[in-house]
Amino acid sequence: MTPLATLGFAAAAFGLALGSSIASTNRPVKIVAFGDSLTAGFGLPASDAFPVKLTHALQDKGIKVEIVNAGVSGDTASGGLARLDWSVPKDADAVILELGANDALRGVDPAVTHNALDAILRALKARGTPVLLCGIYAPPNMGQEFVHAYRQMYVQLAQTYDAILYPFFLDGVAGRTELNQPDGIHPTSKGVDLIVAGILPKVEVLVAKVKAGW
């Protein structure tokens, strides 16, 4: 066997061992929910935050997870990049990445947001950490070109880094008064329930990816 073939075999074996170790120890899959106020649970009791409700939803299906809330209200994609190393520990099995909403609201150049998200995804891929990338839609009043750039950004990044894509984190919630707090931006507890229900199948794929050794 050539040195390169040996190296490839060893890498594959390591991946299988990693996935099997999670299954064999039956330990929870550690997921870091890395985002802004939508992840952090702005305006809600801690028990109603997205990571907590997602944990309960997965546990109800018999899936053991530990979801760390690494959401910071007001954070941008660039801010997330700056805190990546201390917000997402090396022992994280997977990451749910939800950043870009504040960029869109503030009219940040899509190229700046793209570059920051690209750097985050590149770093996580280098670690061998699978990612569920949550897309964000820019407000329509920002103009068609701006809106299109933000939508396509997440699609392109997911393809480049083999990330699982959930196209719009606020799908079914955005624009619905009864599911949002008075600011019209942050979801209520019921809004979070709808977000969790929508994203749950994608998170199950993420967990399966971890257990398979990615």
**Known active-site residue 186:** yes
Burial profile 76-99: b = 16 or more Cβ within 10 angstroms, e = fewer: bbbbbbeebeebbeeebbbbbbbb
Assign 150 to helix, strand or coil: helix
Q: Give CB contacts under 8 A, 24+ apart, made by 195-201.
A: 195/50, 195/169, 195/170, 195/171, 196/50, 196/53, 196/54, 196/57, 197/57, 198/166, 198/171, 198/172, 199/54, 199/132, 199/134, 199/166, 199/169, 200/54, 200/57, 200/58
Q: Indicate which residue of 21, 36, 37, 118 is catalytic.
A: 37
Q: Indicate which residue of 87, 93, 114, 186 is catalytic.
A: 186
Task: Give yes or no for a contact between 110 and 150, defined as CB atoms under 8 angstroms apart.
Answer: yes
**Known active-site residue 183:** yes
Q: Indicate which residue of 24, 60, 91, 183 is catalytic.
A: 183
Backbone φ and ψ for 64, nearest 5 degrees, come out as -85, 120
**Known active-site residue 37:** yes
HSE, side-chain direction, 13 A CA sphere, residue 68: 18
Tell me which residue has tokens 């702005």.
Answer: 42
Residues labelled catalytic: 37, 183, 186
